[in-house]
Structure 1
Amino acid sequence: MSGILPSLEYSAGRVAARKGRLEELRARVRERYELGATGLQVAALQSSLLDEWIAGILEESLDDCGAEQQAILRRHLTVVAVGGTGRGELAPYSDCDLLFLYASSAETAAAEWVSAVVREFWDCGLKLGHSVRTPADALRMARQDAHFATSLTDARRLWGAEPLAVDFLRKFGRSVIGSRRRTFATEAIAAREAERQQFGGSTQQLEPDVKCSPGGLRDIHLIRWVGFAFYGASDLNSLKLRGGLSPDEALALISASDYLTQIRIGLHLTAGKQQDVLTRDEQLRFARERGVTGTAGQRPVERFMQEFFRHTTAVSGICRRFLERHQRPPLARQLLDFVMTYRIDDIYRVGPEYLHVPHRFRARVCGSPEGVLKLYLAAARYRVKLAPQLEELIAQKVITFPADLSAEASRAFLGILGTTGILGAILRSMYATGVLEYVLPPLRHIRCLLQFNQYHQYTVDEHTLRAVEAAESFEADAGPVGQAYRAIRHKDLLHLSLLLHDAGKGFEEDHCVVGWRLAQDLTVRLGLPEHQRELVSGLILQHLQMTNLGLRRDTSDPEVLLRFSHDIGSAEALRMLYVHTAADMSAVGPGVWNEWKSELVTSLYERSLLWLSGKSYLFDEPTRLERARNEVLECVAETDEKLRQALVRVWQDRLKLFPPHYLLATPPERIAADLRIVCSRAPEEIHIESRYEPETSTIEYRIITDERVGSGCFHKLTGTLTAKRMEILSAQICTSQDGVIIDAYRVKDFDHSGEVPQFRIDEVSDLIRSALRGDLDVYALFQARTRFQPLGLQGPVSNLPLRVVIDNESSDRYTVIDVFAHDRPGLLYTIARALFSLDASVVLAKISTHFDQVVDVFYIAEANGGKVRQSLRLKLIRDTLIGEIAAFEERFAGR
């Protein structure tokens, strides 16, 4: 074949003309989109125009060949559109998927020509996803690679030898699909499942990939692929006509496909490139451009995303049921199911995985709320799922159920909530079929409800179901949360409160208060006695209290503990609230319920439990302090008895000088270690040690010195650590009566992804020493090194206003300041520096950096050690903080 293919050099003018034509094509697509055409209409136009443009380039390139070359290629080469190109559902900047098929006799000519023409497409600005194969090679590849095989289910000839394309597609349908349709379906499902997990595994991610996230366009493609295997057609309407989809399912899928395709096209056109992720900025833009209006409790973007998630949830549910209908287990599994299946109540058939009902009993079982809830109760008790056919029938019947809930149905529902082991899966099935919303109508409001902030990673309904699953998982937990969960007698009430705890979101009023009212009505609907109604509604009203107190208050303060315990009222309610708190935070997202938050909340739980169990010595602070001091003294392990006694006397004197929050909130072993350092260090020494925690990827810096050396320690340390690209997660501040400073800062070091190396620790320690001794201008360091730092949010998400709240009642010793502000690198330093300028001493800090709007809490005292009492002084502190933070945010926004 050498010499048959002449050079395919072409002028720059032809490239420019083709590029111009491609841009004209996209401009027409944009125009159609902006005129309001549907997603599928715009995609069809895009595909039609692109087909014509591609075919034109292929013809031009072939015309450049000699006559003999043209004849060979026209007879023995064809171009097949596959994947999205084959379906005719391209977005403006999608890759174009082409399969170049050639007869083996034309291998050399085809290889040379395809190589040249592909280069032409790339030069023109079109990205190709292409392969070059003989028909036999393509068929062999399709049997081995599920991704390649699925791309061929919508294949169509685009250009070239028609007989070659027709013969290949016929053989593909017969040898790759027809003779191995179950294998093909299984491989396609497995490939999609792997992709689904790669993109988050949840239909309700808050920044979803429109194409690949669960419930996205790819799930619709999966239905079409499996449908092609079993019905010989991949078009949704054809699947409906052939019985593969119900009319309602087909309508929902077509509606979702059109909606998601339109969103995807909008993303491409805005970005000017391939972009399938619906980012937070894009969500705001779509809501604005579509004219979505907000309500008192929901922002426009939240209502837009609720509509989006309703489509993806519908797609995910239909996809799951469709696949379950068409997946037949292996023969060995079928035999095992047959052997292990047994009948109960003369109706239910319990298998290893599913609960079945014979066809003749289904209408009776699924035709009433009582029958359905008893069916779910049996599944929960035997720890199996309902057969897919039963779920489909229940979903059809639930809309006919009477509005009122009978006592029998209520007992069955509470029985379900009292089970463990598979409760999460049972509730998800009840939610998918509509049964859960029938029993608890307010859950309809939170279906697919979005909270547009950076704290929650899931929609409200998904978060709710995950909270129940998290609580259920505590049964196997060996720690205090697991112990508390196992000790709860009425787990049904705990699980009910978790189902309802966020039902009040999306309204103007505080969701805890709205949820409390809803719970009062729903517990009456369920027929609960009054004391249980009060318990459930109280849990919902107070479900944020442990988080707020544990992370924002000094839980060693007897006043805080007394008020909290008074509000909770009983040890059983406290156990429920504790588990509720852990489950709620666990369900927010990975890593939110972490070790240090667990420690803070658990400490509050254990101290409150002592009081509610009748051991009121907890509130006898002198007794508690004496006990803490004795535990520290027990850590003295000197072998020389005289030396030991001398050391004990020194420590006794020292311990009396430390503040209560340090003695009551610090482990005795740590206090003993601190005392050894305090007693052995030189007067001017600044002792610094570090401890890396791999579980949280954080490092703690502990600084021990004297206030004569480290004047203004808090603001200098926060400024230094921030300037070194560290996020301060918590701070424990302690100054003894004789001026000894013991401060500990838990930070995340953004310069190191794993364990922080020693050279970095040494560098930070040296910088801290220089800052405390006054050898370093901390403010100048902060200004120089934080100007271009990427930490923190790049713009406010919540749009909540800056607030500084002064609480002079919670503590007898100190004034408490709560600061609500947008998370910015350097915010903590700005606050600390302002307090220092006001001669206010920070004695305790609670740092929260996990919200899009942080809540930092500071316990402050006057220079003489007392709380701030003068109203003018309190106003000055508040006004100064507001002014400094506002100016800081303005400077940050101007970067």
Structure 2
Amino acid sequence: MIGNIYLEKIKGYLTEGWGGRLLASYCTSLVDNIIFDLLPRGEKDLPFAVFATGSYGRTELCPFSDIDIMFFSADMRNTDSATGLLYGLWDRGLQVSHSFRTPRGCIKEAFSDLHTRTSMLEARFICGNPELERIYREEVLQKLRGKKKREYISSKLREIRERRRKQGRSPFLLQPDVKESCGGLRDIQSALWLTSVLFKYDGFQGLKGLMREDDYQKYLRAYDFMLKLRFVIHVLSRRKNDRLLFELQEETADMLGIRGSKKFSAVERMMRYYFIRAGAVSVFSDAIYRRCGAMVTRRRMSFGVSKINDNFSISKKKIIAASDEIFRKNPVRIMEAFYVQAKTGYELSDHLLDTIKRNIIYINAFSRKKREMVDYFFSILRSGRVGPCLRSMHATGVLDKFIPEFGALRHLLVNSYYHEYPVDEHSLMCIEKLETIERSNDKTFRHLSDMFMDIHRKDLLYLALLLHDIGKAKGRYHEREGYKGIKNVADRLMLDVESRVFLESLVKNHILMSEVAFKHDVESPDVQASFAEKIVTVERLKAIYLMTYADMSSVSDSFWTRWRASILQMLYVKTRDYLRGARVSRDELIQDLVKRYQHINEVKEFIDNMPDYYFISSPQEKIRRESILYKRAVDEGFAINIEGREDGTTEITLVLKDRAGVFSGIVSVFAVRKLNIIEARLFTSEDGFAVDRIKISNWNELWWEGMDELIESDMRDVLIEGRKYYFGNKSRRNRGIESFIEVDNEKLPDQTVIEIMAPDREGLLYEVAEVFSKSGVNITSGRIYTEQDTANDVFYINYIKKRLDGELLYNLLGELWQSIKYQKDI
């Protein structure tokens, strides 16, 4: 690594505007020159030659790249001769990895290990005995390129598939690894390795014969940009790091000389540059992979042509056009090409894709309204291969021209630390997620699969997913803007009134279910009624549920959790029952409970004291169990129950005499024990007892024998004996999250809803709960969630059973703001 020695000089060259290849060449020459200085004179007499391998051999050396060298000699007894050079490099502060090989050893190791063979393919002679360099080039390298080609190509293609499986198959990531992600440097390197063996090409010049000149230049520019970007990340991180993390992006854009515009920030412009180049690398590399794979495939291929219709045929398992002119004469044929792809399952040939790209200018305001083109588009949406076809249409620019509102989302970033993809990629992934559900045999998703089968117009559901985020091109409140934009699309697609209403409703309300589920009390009858009134029908509810699943599961690989799934399922069931009229009054519930447990006087006493909303949100068996806890609390002053749930969480129920500070005391115990609260449901009886249900997400991860007793002891100490836990001001690094507090004083007649988002830190929830306690307000319910160092909590509060207003609300918000505002690390 040379970054520790030359970092400031490299940083200076970056700010001067040096390109990636020039910077890499400079860093490589620094190490070359040190080796030249250390070697004794008279190279012809040396018993070895020095070769650079890895990124050093490719002349791609970055500030904190590994430095790999290979000593090549005719005899292993000459290893001592190289020791002086190694000590000299280490004395200069360079961390060098080395190997010592003979011609026979090179061949043996290369054919037994894929990575060793790859490193030798790109070995670059630095200095030493020139005769040994000739032997390596003529004897070793020729064999590495000439023998076992099929085995090498097949293994390398498997390696590429495995890398993409781990790193993600999309080149459009908001925090990409510029080396390993799809569309990164490793894809370029893999293309060069494959062509080195298959065609005996050396470097980029050999690729000219595999692509058009303009494509070659794009590939070269993308390579230069990726290299430069990797340099910047190394310089800013001051270590080996290839991931463009959110916290690095602002400084990265500045070092690259990218400035903001009226429409986009510097970071947004930089990421768009990245997406364009990563997309180009992915497309061109994939074309090379396919060509190399086809040339080593053993199975016989039919070279006949199978005609589909007058315009298209199948040749070599690819769709080809009867003529390149058909698209200029009639742009409808462009949409027909993708319809053929959807119908047959075959991909369009590379030549056909290029031809379509050159002809998309003929898709305009006139042609996109043609009934035939619209019909082909809806046939694609009904085909069962919606995702691959729409992705291919987007890659060629056809989808953007046909629906310009979607084209405005290309490479668009969202200011969210949950999202891993730009908006257009996210929308396409939503469709692919839903198609996966349609074909899934996984029991976990059986209820979603059944729901999907019940949807009458699946094509409109796919269209709604494609368009659900078009409002984001306009800014905040995207669901409202999307609802406006969808009307123009519906006009062009000539939808009837019923179809328009269904589509517009889905787009307008696509975030409603997640907002209600995770920011409101789904067990509240008022919340259920309000949500049901907006959804109107059970079929629309199912469609919204499916959209919510597809939307959330496409945010990132980890965003869809069992807990989130259980909350959404609960909301779905309760809303479905509401819409079907399956509502039971409080009196009916009480009568049924007393009938079932008529010999348990505690149940009757408990029922008489609990508020109405408790019965709406509590299953009968839970009411019975909590009545027993209530009786214990009346007799002993405190009761607790710890119970595992099917969704993997743990619910802890506490019953005790209510007073100010009970909730903050509960929170303090969980915070000290590192237990993560994700939901709180709080009730207060008429005779002054608190019944608090707390859900913990990580109980099973931290559990040990004796933990239940420890938590009960802690709770008694804090809630009964008055013990206090204190938290230092430990802040986590702010990853760009801006704190905010949002108040809803209109939704419910007797409660105020407060949503808080802030960088998480130890003791934050305790401090918030203390503010509520000291203000004298009552927390009736809460939804607490923490993810990626961000706290997002929603509280239902009231004061003397009324919602807050005036001076009390103003002062409370001021105190809350003081408790959550971010304090920079000292």
Q: Does 1:683 align with 2:635?
A: yes
Q: Pick one of 711, 720, 726 that aligns with 1:782.
A: 726
Aligned residue in 2 for 1:417: 381
Aligned residue in 1 for 2:814: 882
Deviations 1:31-80 (A, max 9, x none): 33332221211211222232122222233xxx6xxxxxx89x83541111
The answer to whether the 8 A contact 2:602-2:627 is kept is no
The count of aligned residue pairs is 820
Query: Could you tell me the TM-score, scaled by structure 2's length?
Result: 0.91
Compute the displacement of 1:128 (Å): 2.0
- Counterpart secondary structure, 1:646: coil
AA matched with 2:32 = D
Question: Runs of 5+ in structure 2 lacking a partner?
Answer: none
Aligned residue in 2 for 1:701: 652
Q: Pick one of 45, 51, 54 that aligns with 1:83.
A: 54
AA matched with 2:751 = Y
Deviations 1:287-333 (A, max 9, x none): 23445444566433222222222211221122112211221287664
Residues 484, 143 of structure 1: alpha-carbon distance in 2 compared, 3 angstrom cutoff: same
Aligned residue in 1 for 2:266: 300
The answer to whether the 8 A contact 1:366-1:394 is kept is no
Compute the displacement of 1:508 (Å): 3.5
- Counterpart secondary structure, 1:726: coil
Q: Pick one of 4, 8, 21 that aligns with 1:40.
A: 21
Compute the displacement of 1:854 (Å): 4.4
Deviations 1:191-213 (A, max 9, x none): 23333444344323332222122
Where in structure 2 are the equivalents of 1:271-350 lying within 5 Å?
A: 271-290=237-256, 292-294=258-260, 298-328=264-294, 333-334=299-300, 344-345=308-309
Compute the displacement of 1:460 (Å): 1.6
Compute the displacement of 1:98 (Å): 1.6
Partner Cα distance (2:3, 2:575) in 1? 70
Compute the displacement of 1:771 (Å): 0.8
The answer to whether the 8 A contact 1:309-1:448 is kept is yes
Q: Does 1:453 align with 2:416?
A: yes
Residues 385, 359 of structure 1: alpha-carbon distance in 2 compared, 3 angstrom cutoff: closer
Residues 516, 33 of structure 1: alpha-carbon distance in 2 compared, 3 angstrom cutoff: same
- Counterpart secondary structure, 1:227: helix
Deviations 1:224-261 (A, max 9, x none): 11222333224324321xx2122232111111111111
Aligned residue in 2 for 1:625: 586
Partner Cα distance (1:842, 1:419) in 2? 51
Partner Cα distance (2:37, 2:548) in 1? 64
Q: Pick one of 129, 149, 157 that aligns with 2:97.
A: 129
AA matched with 2:509 = Q
Residues 393, 731 of structure 1: alpha-carbon distance in 2 compared, 3 angstrom cutoff: same
Compute the displacement of 1:715 (Å): 1.5
Where in structure 2 are the equivalents of 1:93-132 lying within 5 Å?
A: 93-104=64-75, 107-108=76-77, 110-132=78-100
Partner Cα distance (2:74, 2:113) in 1? 22
Residues 479, 489 of structure 1: alpha-carbon distance in 2 compared, 3 angstrom cutoff: same
Partner Cα distance (2:544, 2:695) in 1? 27
Aligned residue in 1 for 2:802: 867
Partner Cα distance (1:111, 1:33) in 2? 39
Partner Cα distance (2:575, 2:646) in 1? 30
Q: Pick one of 664, 679, 693 that aligns with 1:744.
A: 693
Aligned residue in 2 for 1:253: 219
Aligned residue in 2 for 1:263: 229
Residues 716, 218 of structure 1: alpha-carbon distance in 2 compared, 3 angstrom cutoff: same
Aligned residue in 2 for 1:840: 777
Q: Pick one of 400, 407, 419 that aligns with 1:437.
A: 400
Residues 705, 394 of structure 1: alpha-carbon distance in 2 compared, 3 angstrom cutoff: same
Compute the displacement of 1:444 (Å): 2.8
Compute the displacement of 1:769 (Å): 1.6
- Counterpart secondary structure, 1:176: helix
Partner Cα distance (1:585, 1:729) in 2? 18
- Counterpart secondary structure, 2:821: helix
- Counterpart secondary structure, 1:150: helix
Compute the displacement of 1:606 (Å): 2.8
The answer to whether the 8 A contact 2:563-2:647 is kept is no
Residues 632, 55 of structure 1: alpha-carbon distance in 2 compared, 3 angstrom cutoff: farther
Q: Pick one of 508, 516, 520 that aligns with 2:483.
A: 516
Q: Does 1:893 align with 2:824?
A: yes
Deviations 1:832-880 (A, max 9, x none): 11111122111111223348764422222334xx2136x43xx323322
Deviations 1:578-613 (A, max 9, x none): 211111111111332223322332333333334444
Partner Cα distance (1:538, 1:38) in 2? 50
Compute the displacement of 1:362 (Å): 6.5
Aligned residue in 1 for 2:666: 717
Partner Cα distance (2:536, 2:346) in 1? 38
Partner Cα distance (1:301, 1:419) in 2? 38
Partner Cα distance (2:700, 2:107) in 1? 45
Partner Cα distance (1:852, 1:436) in 2? 37
Q: Does 1:356 align with 2:307?
A: no
Partner Cα distance (2:645, 2:292) in 1? 48
- Counterpart secondary structure, 1:315: helix
Residues 881, 91 of structure 1: alpha-carbon distance in 2 compared, 3 angstrom cutoff: same
Q: Pick one of 498, 501, 506 that aligns with 1:531.
A: 498
Residues 701, 876 of structure 1: alpha-carbon distance in 2 compared, 3 angstrom cutoff: same
Query: Could you tell me the TM-score, scaled by structure 1's length?
Result: 0.84
The answer to whether the 8 A contact 2:15-2:255 is kept is no
- Counterpart secondary structure, 2:280: helix
Where in structure 2 are the equivalents of 1:461-610 lying within 5 Å?
A: 461-475=424-438, 476=440, 478-610=445-577
Partner Cα distance (1:22, 1:356) in 2? 48
Residues 367, 571 of structure 1: alpha-carbon distance in 2 compared, 3 angstrom cutoff: farther
Aligned residue in 1 for 2:336: 374
Partner Cα distance (1:23, 1:607) in 2? 61
Q: Pick one of 702, 708, 712 that aligns with 1:765.
A: 712
Deviations 1:625-648 (A, max 9, x none): 3454466568x5xxxxxxx5322x
The answer to whether the 8 A contact 1:803-1:882 is kept is no
Partner Cα distance (1:674, 1:576) in 2? 36
Residues 428, 77 of structure 1: alpha-carbon distance in 2 compared, 3 angstrom cutoff: same
Residues 753, 369 of structure 1: alpha-carbon distance in 2 compared, 3 angstrom cutoff: farther
Deviations 1:332-371 (A, max 9, x none): 6446x799x97644776679xx953356556647985433
- Counterpart secondary structure, 2:695: strand
Compute the displacement of 1:552 (Å): 1.7
AA matched with 1:722 = A
Aligned residue in 1 for 2:701: 754
Residues 624, 131 of structure 1: alpha-carbon distance in 2 compared, 3 angstrom cutoff: farther
The answer to whether the 8 A contact 1:355-1:386 is kept is no
Residues 286, 537 of structure 1: alpha-carbon distance in 2 compared, 3 angstrom cutoff: same
Higher deviation after alignment, 189-198 or 41-50: 189-198
Residues 759, 205 of structure 1: alpha-carbon distance in 2 compared, 3 angstrom cutoff: farther
The answer to whether the 8 A contact 1:684-1:706 is kept is no
Partner Cα distance (1:166, 1:402) in 2? 60
Q: Pick one of 851, 856, 859 that aligns with 2:793.
A: 856
Residues 861, 513 of structure 1: alpha-carbon distance in 2 compared, 3 angstrom cutoff: closer
Residues 517, 655 of structure 1: alpha-carbon distance in 2 compared, 3 angstrom cutoff: same
Aligned residue in 2 for 1:672: 624
The RMSD of aligned alpha carbons is 3.2
Compute the displacement of 1:125 (Å): 1.7
AA matched with 1:886 = Q
Deviations 1:523-568 (A, max 9, x none): 2222222332333233222211111112222334444333333323
- Counterpart secondary structure, 2:413: coil
- Counterpart secondary structure, 1:99: strand
Compute the displacement of 1:487 (Å): 0.9
Q: Does 1:827 align with 2:764?
A: yes
